[in-house]
Structure 1
Amino acid sequence: MLAAFADERLGYGERVVFENLSLAVRAGERIALLGRSGSGKSTLISALYRRLADAGARVALVPQDHALVPQLSVFHNIYMGRLDRHGALYNALNLIRPFRRERAAVAPLAEELGLAPELMRPVERLSGGQRQRTAVGRAFFRGGDILLADEPVSAVDETQARRILESMAARFATLVLSLHAVDLALESADRIIGLKASRVVVDAPAKALTRGDLDGLYAG
């Protein structure tokens, strides 16, 4: 068991989102979180990240807001996935003039994500889809056993989304992804957790569900 919540209250600030959440995430699972905006997906991703990180798990995160530094390049934002592996002086020098070995390490990820032409371009000059892929690249560069991602492919087309999801599955043993597209969730996940009004209303193997079974998550 990687993480478990047992009748727990979760939220942010003074706002309570989940009153009595019971949920477990096991190693090797590929979980898709589905539900309308405000159903609690982001809260659950954040809570999972804190719990796993506090337990010392090797976890990478793609937050919904990307958490990029707009003035810095795609290269530097991806490189930030490994900031904690070097000292402050090394990181400062790499900021001023990127080391050849670090560029060589980041470049294949940028190529894979279609960002090679933008590698040294400031993130603030990118499109929404390019920024999203930069945040994914940072998580890939971070690496680890677990990837938590909040709407990581919402700003790219369906073909790119499938390719990115395949790359995620190839790199991380365990995935928990908040997705906006039901069809993508059914294709890429082995377990679907459906949230509605801050409650878990679906928790089942993806192969046992159809799109019709999940339509109720978005009704009302």
Structure 2
Amino acid sequence: MLRLEALTLSYGDRKVIKDLSLSIEQGEKVAIVGASGVGKSTLLAHIYTQLNSQAAYCAQSQGLVDGLSVFHNVYMGALARHHFGYNLLNLIRPQTHRINEVSELCSALLLDVALNKTVSELSGGQRQRVALARALYQQQSTFIGDESFSSLDPVMAQQLIAQVLSRHPTVIMVLHDCQMALNYFDRIVGLQDGEIALDAPSQILQPEHLIAFFDRKVGSVSDNGG
């Protein structure tokens, strides 16, 4: 589905991804982990540019429109699926079945707020779930998420990640929680200083491997288990 060869990416004058090669197959659940500043978000944004016709992207920046309601922000996930006139109708006077769809999705994401409430009134965790709902409402086959649960408590994060995984055959996600990466993903890719330092099936890894990795010391585990 995706193959990157000798990829180098810069942020300003600084190289953040250096000569990186990575392939991801359709149907994989891949967690990308690493310390802050090693290039995870830059890599994820590039992956989205390669897969955007089939992927929903939930970025750290969220991209919500503060002055619009929860409904309008979530419905924007469907804009590419409908023609301009239909979208304009639903943004001005939403159809009942679209309201019901958004309401059911918000409920599944434990977002118990009025759909007509403006996003500027929401807490950080609520805003994060609105951004997640908008991504899910795109109904794409691939989900790309950049720390999509960072503002949520662990129990809620586990419930929401189950929703993401059940709705998308392929998931590529940056995570800061090593136990979540081990429990919910079948492959873990670790970055260090802009390079892949770990690429292994999650079943051969232990929490101490990832804890050490987040401390910027890579454990002695490779993709062949050595």
Bucket of the pairwise TM-score, normalised by the shorter protein: over 0.9
Match of 1:31?
30
Distance 1:214 1:119, change over 3 A: same
Match of 2:222?
none
User: What letter is aligned with 2:127?
Assistant: R
Distance 1:86 1:13, change over 3 A: farther
User: What letter is aligned with 1:10?
Assistant: L
User: What letter is aligned with 2:45?
Assistant: S
Match of 1:63?
59
Q: Distance in 2 between matches of 1:18 and 1:163?
A: 32
CA contact (8 A) 1:129 1:156 kept: yes
CA contact (8 A) 1:107 1:116 kept: no
SS in 1 for 2:113: helix
Of residues 173, 179, 203, the one that matches 1:183 is 179
Extract unaligned runs of 5+ from structure 1. none
Once the two structures are superposed, the pairs formed by residues 88-167 of structure 1 within 5 Å of their partners are 88-167=84-163
Q: Distance in 2 between matches of 1:11 and 1:190?
A: 29
Alpha-carbon distance, 1:88 to partner: 2.8
* Percent identity over paired residues: 38
Corresponding position: 1:9 with 2:13: no
Corresponding position: 1:78 with 2:74: yes
Corresponding position: 1:213 with 2:209: yes
Alpha-carbon distance, 1:123 to partner: 0.7
User: Normalized per residue, which structure has more helix?
Assistant: 1
For each residue in 1:54-94, what CA deviation from the matched residue of structure 2 results, as whole angstroms up to 9, or x when unmatched? xx4x2111001111111111111111111122233332332
RMSD, aligned α-carbons: 1.4
TM-score (norm 1): 0.93
Of residues 196, 199, 211, the one that matches 2:195 is 199
Match of 1:20?
19
Alpha-carbon distance, 1:14 to partner: 4.8
Alpha-carbon distance, 1:13 to partner: 4.9
Q: Distance in 1 between matches of 2:149 and 2:114?
A: 19
Extract unaligned runs of 5+ from structure 2. 217-226
SS in 1 for 2:5: strand
CA contact (8 A) 2:109 2:163 kept: no
CA contact (8 A) 1:32 1:177 kept: yes
Q: Which moved more, 1:69-78 or 1:99-108?
A: 99-108
- Matched residue pairs, number? 216
Q: Distance in 1 between matches of 2:60 and 2:93?
A: 30
CA contact (8 A) 2:147 2:175 kept: yes
For each residue in 1:107-153, what CA deviation from the matched residue of structure 2 results, as whole angstroms up to 9, or x when unmatched? 11011112242321111110111011111111111011110000011
Q: Distance in 2 between matches of 1:218 and 1:85?
A: 39
